[in-house]
Amino acid sequence: DAGITQSPRHKVTETGTPVTLRCHQTENHRYMYWYRQDPGHGLRLIHYSYGVKDTDKGEVSDGYSVSRSKTEDFLLTLESATSSQTSVYFCAIGPTTNEKLFFGSGTQLSVL
C-alpha cells in the first residue's frame, strides 16, 4: 500500500473514551489525509495536512482533531468517541497538490 501503515487495524472502544489512530508513511510525501468510509457515503475527508504542523479541516471534521509533528506521521484523535464515529478510517498520501491519492489499508473502529 504505497509505503503507508495504519495502526491499529482494528479497535473496539466505549463511548466517551479518547482514541488515537496513527498513519505512518515512508514515501516522504508532503500531503496526508484522513478519510472515513461509511456505506452509502463513500469516502469523506476528515482532516488533511500539507506539511509538518500544517493541517486543515475537511468535510466531516467535527469531533476529530489531528496532529503532524513529523513528515512521516499523521495522527487522528477522537477526543470523546461516539457511536456515530463507528467507521472504517483510511489514511491517504499524495506527492503534490494533484489528485492522485495513495491509501493505507484502513482501521476498523467500533464505538460501543
Q: Which positions lie near other proteins, rule CB under 8 A? A: 1, 4, 31, 33, 39-45, 48, 50, 56, 58, 90, 92, 94, 97-106
Rounded Cα gap, residues 72 and 18, in angstroms: 23
Report CA-CA distances (Å) from 30 to 6, 12, 91. Answer: 17, 31, 13
Q: Closest distance between other proteins and the C-beta of residue 67, in Å?
A: 17
Q: Closest distance between other proteins and the C-beta of residue 69, in Å?
A: 20
Cβ closest to other proteins, residue 1 vs residue 14: 1
- Strand 10-13, strand 64-70: pairing: unpaired
Sign of CA dihedral 3, 101, 51, 74: negative
Cβ closest to other proteins, residue 80 vs residue 105: 105
Q: Closest distance between other proteins and the C-beta of residue 103, in Å?
A: 3
